Copies of this chain bind each other. A is one copy, B any other.
Amino acid sequence: MLEEAGFVLTDLERDGIEVADFGLSELEQTGLEVVVYVNTERVCAKEIVMFPGQTCPEHRHPPFDGTPGKEETFRCRTGLVYLYLDGPAAEQPSCWPAKADRGAYTAEQPSCWPAKADRGAYTVWHEVVLRPGEQRLVPPNTLHWFQAGPEGAIVSEFSTQSRDDLDVFTDPDIARTTVVTSNWVSAEGESEDPGAAAHR
């Protein structure tokens, strides 16, 4: 998807794509695929790939080590992103599915209502729609979440240092575990057959 859009990766980067399912095991609904270009003590830049309707769950980046916390700018490169922040709530959020039940998810009609929203895991509903070339700064320590539109999205993130371990999620079930694998689709398949690896 990145290559189709003209983003060239090195082999090392391709092999190091982070697939974050936030410990929820519902990657197609809730998760991110991330290429980290740089993450020093001062600067971080990433390319985020999102499946259609995939949601990065609500969280904030708290102050640490005398800094105000992570400041991020999200820039939509392809597709469409619905970004939610504190502020006047959208009466009818775009992420809300027109024809699917809340929480329902099928391949034919991806539900854009984020899983667990009914259980209080999503509390900010001020909507900002980002189309290609549009961007938004999210100040430190500000609750936010975002969801890709029906065709998925590529989003560039420009920020201060990323410290995923410090992120505070609204959903208490979330663990910001990162799975790094070069071939996560087949790796998932293989995990159903633990014997496969032994035969390689």
Contacts and interface: CB of A to CB of B under 8 A. Distances in A.
Interface of A: 5-10, 13, 37-38, 40, 42-45, 71, 73, 75, 77-78, 132-135, 137, 156, 158-160
Given A159-B43, A160-B43, A73 B135 contact: no
B8 A132 contact: yes
Given A5-B6, A8-B132, A158-B37, A42 B71 contact: yes
Contact of A10 (B13, B40, B71, B134): B134
B135 A40 contact: no
Contact of A135 (B37, B75, B158): B37
A38 B135 CA distance: 9
Given A5-B6, A8-B78, A37-B73, 14 more contacts: A6-B7, A6-B77, A8-B77, A9-B133, A10-B133, A37-B135, A37-B158, A38-B158, A40-B71, A43-B71, A43-B158, A45-B73, A45-B156, A158-B158
B45 A45 contact: yes
Contacts of A6: 5-7, 77-78
Given A37-B73, A73-B37, A75-B37, A133 B8 contact: yes
A164 to B, nearest CB: 17
Contacts of A77: 6-8
Nearest to A140: B42
Contacts of A7: 6, 77
